Amino acid sequence: MQNLFDILEEYKIADELCANAYETCTPDIRNRIKSAIAFHFSENTVQEEEEVFTPKSSTGFCKGSRKQALENVFIFIDKNYSAPAKFLAVLCQAIRANAKQIFVCIDKVLPEEQFSLFLTCLELCGIENSYYLPEKIIIEKFALQLQAENIQAKYVFCGGNKQNLQAVSPVNSFTDSLPLSICAQNEQKEMLSLSYGNSAVITYSSENSPCSCREHFTALLQSSQKQYDISFISPEAGRQNYGLGMEFCFKHPQLPQDFFYDILYFSNLEINY
């Protein structure tokens, strides 16, 4: 594996750069990212590795399954991706799935503020394998070498641009290019701009939510229909509903729950044996 690390080493983001991004981040933003990480850790249950075989059952089928944590997860963030909230949803799910190594490659031409936010997320999640996004030829060489050496890996592409990742098998990859519609209070403009960048269309309202969680939830139940993907105010319901201070929280509805595991499933008729 050492020679593979050598390929990426020249793209390594210096540890002091990540530390500096964390130190210069405002306490308010840092606390909101911490809240999002805690939220995702509470939402994503750790699933232990398991191997199960049932030779006989009332259904007439013998069954077997094995679930293992992935050896390697690679997350690529391209220059058009500006949604650390969506990135956190994916990253925290990989962490909770006990992926053994997580590598994150970030395009260096991202705006400085967004780039620093991604680094802050990595620092708060304890991810040390952070790199600048390599050129197409380097990525393809790396992916092909992984396959040639039969090294297990899955890939997440943040931004929808897979032109630099044609060597990766589609079955082992997931692309996050999900556009979002959000309804929020006027006071959330700055935070939501930082959280979702250009990946969301946001409608702002002067309407305030009730003062208690129960009242907020009751108001949502009485809403006629879901208007948005995410809503932060009770008069307008979304598929996901949050309160103030949870701007970086987002559950990715399209990332398969078992994506960060190596799954093997077997079934056959008992009479065949």
Report the percentage of the chain scoring pLDDT > 70: 94
CB 9 within 8 A of CB 107: no
Report pLDDT for 195: 96
Report pLDDT for 17: 92
246-261 confidence digits (pLDDT tens): 999 999 999 988 899 9
Give which of 177, 196, 183 is closest to 229, Cα–Cα.
183
Question: Helix 15-24 and helix 112-125: axis angle, to 10°?
Answer: 100
Tokens (6 digits) for 232: 């932060």
Binning pLDDT at 50, 70 and 90, where does residue 269 land?
Answer: very high
Task: Give yes or no for residue 37 having a pLDDT over 90.
Answer: yes
| Range in 74-78, 189-193, 223-227, 269-273 with the lowest mean pLDDT | 223-227
Average pLDDT, the chain: 89
Give which of 88, 90, 99 is closest to 123, Cα–Cα.
88
Task: Give yes or no for residue 161 having a pLDDT over 60.
Answer: no
Report pLDDT for 93: 95
Task: Give yes or no for residue 95 having a pLDDT over 60.
Answer: yes
Task: Give yes or no for residue 72 having a pLDDT over 70.
Answer: yes
* Complete DSSP assignment for the chain: -HHHHHHHHTTBPPHHHHHHHHHHS-HHHHHHHHHHHHHHHHHS-----EEEEES--TTSEEEEEEEEE-SEEEEEE-TT---HHHHHHHHHHHHHTT-SEEEEEE-TTS-HHHHHHHHHHHHHHT---EEEPPPHHHHHHHHHHHHHTT---EEEEESS--TT-TTS-GGGEEEE---EEEEEEGGGHHHHHHHHGGGEEEEEESPPPPSSHHHHHHHHHTSSSEEEEEESSTTSEEEEE--TT-TT----SSS-TTTTEEEEEEEEEGGG-
Task: Give yes or no for residue 122 having a pLDDT over 70.
Answer: yes
Report pLDDT for 151: 85
| Range in 73-77, 141-145, 186-190, 195-199 with the lowest mean pLDDT | 141-145
Task: Give yes or no for residue 2 having a pLDDT over 90.
Answer: no
Give which of 44, 36, 27, 67 is closest to 257, Cα–Cα.
44
Task: Give yes or no for residue 66 having a pLDDT over 90.
Answer: yes
Average pLDDT over every residue of 1-16: 79
For 187, how many CA atoms within 13 A lie in the half-sphere containing its CB?
9
Average pLDDT over every residue of 198-208: 89
Task: Give yes or no for residue 167 having a pLDDT over 70.
Answer: no
Q: Which of 28-42, 143-157, 166-180 has the highest mean pLDDT?
A: 28-42
Report pLDDT for 162: 54
Report pLDDT for 163: 54
Tell me if the pTM is above 0.75.
yes
247 vs 271 pLDDT, higher one = 247
